[in-house]
Amino acid sequence: MKLYNFHASSTSYRTRIVLNLKGLQYEYIPIRLDKQEHLSPAYGEVNPMRGVPTLEVDGVRLYQSSAIIEYLEEVFPDPPVLPKDPVGRAHVRAICAIVGADMHAVNNLRIRNFVRDTYKQDADGVTAWISLWNKAGFEAIEAMLRADKNRNGFCYGSTPTMADAFLISHVFSAVRFKTDMTPYTEIRAVVDNCNALKPFADAHPSNQPDAGG
């Protein structure tokens, strides 16, 4: 497998976490967002949305981190990153959707650039935009975690699921963009538990080959 990705990209980070949780090896192909490599015609041939990650499996390219992660779960079910019961699966997927659709999608690089360039926002204005959507999402997830009396250390149950991969990677990005995480005690406890595990630590942006370059 080849993973076209970028160390600091949260969608790449969440995919790396799941690959690591499942013990899967892959070739790391850096696509430097900071050098706009994702906008090159060559990468446009790889991924028609010009986003990262892309997972290539036996020459077939898969897009969208949520679809990639669900593919990995179907093909490599052990250890699982989705619970067995349908209600649990819906709960985990809901957390993923809050992060993926309600937070990341509206704060993505191309959206931030549009807010800056078209709506003439300075750095503080862009940060305010990011924080608005992060706050809405983190408040919802914090409430879900607090209400779930059966979970034990993670977003759901007592082992990591794809919800943890989505949450941990987005918290990294939120901290980078100055979102105040102080109010979210349940989320911060989950982050600490996950980051203590090797599959999460190995997936961290600072541990990737293109970090700092």
Query: Quick check: 134 binds ligand GSH (CB under 6 A)?
Result: no
Query: Quick check: 176 binds ligand GSH (CB under 6 A)?
Result: no
CA angle 84, 86, 92 (to 5 degrees): 80
**Cβ atoms 62, 56 nearer than 8 A:** yes
Query: Quick check: 54 binds ligand GSH (CB under 6 A)?
Result: no
Query: Quick check: 109 binds ligand GSH (CB under 6 A)?
Result: yes
Nearest to ligand GSH of 20, 64 (CB atom): 64
What CA–CA distance (Å, rounded) separates 44 from 147? 43
What CA–CA distance (Å, rounded) separates 120 from 189? 37
**Among 3, 21, 30, 64, which residue sits at the site for ligand GSH (rule: CB under 6 A)?**
64
For the CB of residue 38, give the shortest distance to ligand GSH in the complex, in Å. 5
Query: Quick check: 65 binds ligand GSH (CB under 6 A)?
Result: yes
Query: Quick check: 69 binds ligand GSH (CB under 6 A)?
Result: no
58: left (phi over 0), alpha (psi -120 to 50) or beta: left
What CA–CA distance (Å, rounded) separates 52 from 43? 10
Query: Quick check: 9 binds ligand GSH (CB under 6 A)?
Result: yes
Query: Quick check: 157 binds ligand GSH (CB under 6 A)?
Result: no
**Among 4, 7, 10, 174, which residue sits at the site for ligand GSH (rule: CB under 6 A)?**
10
199: left (phi over 0), alpha (psi -120 to 50) or beta: alpha
Q: How far, CA to CA in Å, does 101 sit from each of 38, 148, 189?
A: 21, 22, 23
Nearest to ligand GSH of 109, 193 (CB atom): 109
Query: Quick check: 107 binds ligand GSH (CB under 6 A)?
Result: no
What CA–CA distance (Å, rounded) separates 132 from 108? 14
Nearest to ligand GSH of 51, 199 (CB atom): 51
Query: Quick check: 38 binds ligand GSH (CB under 6 A)?
Result: yes
Query: Quick check: 208 binds ligand GSH (CB under 6 A)?
Result: no
